[in-house]
Amino acid sequence: MARRSFVAGNWKMNKTPSESRTLALDLRARLEKYTKCDIAIFPTYLSVAVVSEVLKGSNIDVGTQNMHWEKFGAYTGAVSPQMLVDAGVRDVIVGHSERRQYFGDNDEKVNKRIFAALAHNIKPIVCVGETKDQRLANVTEDIIRTQVLGALIGITAEQMAGITIAYEPVWAIGTGLTATPAQAQDVHAFIRGLVRSLYTNEVAEALRIQYGGSVKADNAASLLSQPDIDGALVGGASLVAADFEAIVKAAK
């Protein structure tokens, strides 16, 4: 089954609102012609309004890097799904390893965020990945299995259509140590197999699995040519318009 590629740019804690506006304008102009893949960018909460204004009517979706699962209330510092929808957000990253590492995110919270996102028609990108020690200890598949099963508890086959999974080996994020295409392909095929065993072959074949971790202009094509790699979740290189464009261009 042909899956549409999906390239996402995670800006992390970078770019002021005015810098975000400039980058979004540049991306809008550059990426207009790439109609064969889906594209989304993820600025900080503070820049979402200005970026979604700039990208209105374009082929680039706007998302956020996290989201609370509650609708409103006494949750200091948090942002709710309906606030995001009102601001033009259509996508959200959940369970990024930096959220897990620095902000106490875990599989249970990831599961709650997925449910809340889907209930508001926001499409989640669910991040999973092993650390360097876990890879060296040969427990990569156990870690991925636990994270995927934990994230998808209670999610129906129908709901799976709104979900993207991103395989992001923690040792490859921001380090310049990209997984080899073969290493990434192995884990992507493992994830697809897991989803097949949880749901149906049809659900597994329709699922898009992005690779993330030091994706750059010069390694994107070899990663994206792997049969089970359906796109990229790009950090550092998404902050430079020409680099992000080169990655989008490399997508199938």
**Annotated active-site positions, please?**
96, 168
Among 235, 241, 243, 250, binds ligand PGA (CB under 6 A): 235
Comparing CB distances to ligand PGA, the nearer of 174 and 193 is 174
Nearest distance from C-beta of residue 49 to ligand PGA, angstroms: 23
Compute the least distance from the CB of residue 19 to ligand PGA, in Å: 17
Q: Is 130 one of the binding residues for ligand PGA (CB under 6 A)? A: no
Instruction: Point out which span in 30-38, 47-55, 72-80, 212-220 binds ligand PGA (CB under 6 A).
Output: 212-220
First to last CA, the chain: 13
148-177 positions binding ligand PGA, by CB under 6 A: 168, 173-174
Strand, coil or helix: 113 = helix
Rule CB under 6 A: is residue 43 a binding residue for ligand PGA? no
Q: How far apart are CA 222 and CA 87, in angstroms?
A: 36
Q: How many CB atoms lie within 10 A of CB 57?
A: 5
Q: Which residue is nearest to ligand PGA (CB)?
A: 235
Told to check if 214 binds ligand PGA by CB under 6 A, we report yes
Provide the minimum distance between the beta carbon of 238 and ligand PGA in the complex, in angstroms, as a whole number. Answer: 7
Nearer to ligand PGA, 98 or 107 (CB): 98
Q: Closest by alpha carbon to 224, among 212, 232, 233, 213?
A: 232
CB of 143 to ligand PGA, least distance (A): 17
Give me the count of residues in the chain.
252
CA 91 – CA 40 distance, rounded (Å): 8
- The CA distances from residue 43 to 9, 17, 46, in Å, are 8, 9, 8
Measured CA to CA, the distance from residue 87 to residue 92 in angstroms comes to 13
Interaction of residue 215 with ligand PGA, rule CB under 6 A: yes
Q: How far is the C-alpha of 205 from the C-alpha of 127, rounded, in Å?
A: 19
Q: How far is CA 104 from CA 11, 33, 115, 189, in A?
A: 20, 40, 19, 28
In this chain, which of 117, 122, 234, 250 binds ligand PGA, going by CB under 6 A?
234
Q: Binding of ligand PGA at residue 10 (CB under 6 A)?
A: yes
Tokens at 204, concatenated: 């597994």
Q: Which stretch binds ligand PGA (CB under 6 A): 48-56, 136-144, 192-200, 229-237?
A: 229-237
The residues binding ligand PGA (CB under 6 A) are: 10, 168, 173-174, 212-215, 233-237
